[in-house]
């Protein structure tokens, strides 16, 4: 579920109102979001489940339920928490159970879980407050796992994308040029903040990073279908969005109409260790 690039490095640099606007913009086309966004490696889901004391999972920022359905398929009972009612509504239509709330305002009402997960969402949450609330609702030994899909565009597509973004959105708050650089370098600041938040709470084991490398082939239309779900584009007027997609589509056409994307999925994870 990539939200970065081009958001990759500057999420923490956005002003609060800009972050809020982007965070609630993904539900503008929830069906496309669910259809186009990539799933997560089954190996990661299985490892999180195996490293948890039971099968009750809380999915923070669950969106349309992409990760939740993967955990359900692995035998878990999943409750989602999602601030965008449009995303939550689709998640329910697809078989999920969802509370509509931000994680900080969400009332657990005495409910406890064996794992708290967050796919492509933890960067919208204060890392210390989020870890503290996760510790509050986790059973002893329960696992917190925040994870991100990091994609690396082929150079031809990355350069065309950056050029299109600069032309159409010259005043964008997103670091467009970061699209042409190594994606993991930009994401590392997110991983470090998540781990530091876990450490500061003091109720977890030492945080670890679990890494999973994989590839996915995209036909031109499949990638252009996903692009409007990226945070830098969700608020663009249709004519401006069409200009961006035209530029990127031309680059993919020049490559033969398809390309292979390299993905790295990283989970920042720790187990609750205290008994209270």
Q: Using alpha carbons only, how large is the chain's radius of gyration in Å?
A: 18
Q: Which residues contact 256 (CB under 8 A, 6 or more apart)?
A: none
**Regions of the chain with pLDDT less than 50:** 1-25
Handedness of CA 186, 192, 197, 200 (dihedral sign): negative
Q: How many CB atoms lie within 10 A of CB 55?
A: 16
Question: What are 121-167's pLDDT values in tens digits?
Answer: 999 999 999 999 999 999 999 999 999 999 999 999 999 988 888 88
Find the DSSP H helices in 25-112.
Answer: 30-36, 42-50, 66-73, 85-93
Q: What is the pLDDT of residue 112?
A: 98
**Helices H / strands E in the chain, number of each:** 10, 7
Q: What is the pLDDT of residue 172?
A: 67
Coil, helix or strand for 215?
strand
Q: What is the pTM of this model?
A: 0.87
Q: What is the pLDDT of residue 275?
A: 59
Q: What is the pLDDT of residue 5?
A: 38
**Which pair of structure tokens corresponds to residue 263?**
């993905």
Q: What is the pLDDT of residue 20?
A: 43
Q: What is the pLDDT of residue 73?
A: 98
């Amino acid at each position: 579920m990539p939200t970065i690039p081009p958001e990759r490095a500057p999420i923490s640099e956005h002003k609060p109102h800009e972050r809020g606007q982007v965070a609630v913009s993904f539900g503008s086309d929830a069906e496309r979001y669910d259809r186009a966004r990539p799933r997560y490696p089954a190996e990661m889901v299985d490892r999180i489940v195996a490293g948890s004391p039971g099968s009750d999972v809380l999915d923070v920022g669950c969106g349309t339920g992409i990760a939740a359905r993967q955990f359900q398929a692995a035998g878990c009972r999943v409750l989602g928490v999602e601030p965008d009612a449009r995303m939550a509504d689709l998640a329910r239509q697809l078989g999920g159970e969802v509370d509509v709330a931000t994680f900080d305002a969400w009332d657990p009402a005495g409910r406890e879980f064996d794992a708290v997960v967050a796919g492509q969402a933890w960067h919208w949450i204060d890392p210390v407050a989020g870890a503290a609330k996760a510790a509050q609702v986790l059973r002893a030994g329960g696992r917190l796992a925040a994870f991100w899909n990091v994609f690396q565009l082929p150079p031809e597509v990355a350069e065309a994308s950056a050029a299109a973004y600069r032309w159409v959105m010259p005043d964008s708050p997103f670091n467009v040029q970061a699209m042409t650089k190594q994606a993991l370098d930009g994401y590392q600041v997110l991983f470090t903040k998540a781990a530091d938040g876990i450490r500061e709470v003091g109720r977890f084991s030492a945080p670890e990073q679990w890494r999973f490398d994989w590839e996915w082939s995209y036909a031109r239309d499949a990638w252009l279908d996903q692009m409007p779900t990226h945070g830098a584009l969700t608020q663009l007027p249709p004519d401006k969005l069409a200009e961006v997609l035209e530029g990127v589509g031309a680059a993919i056409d020049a490559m033969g109409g398809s390309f292979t994307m390299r993905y790295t999925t990283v989970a920042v994870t720790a187990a609750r260790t205290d008994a209270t």
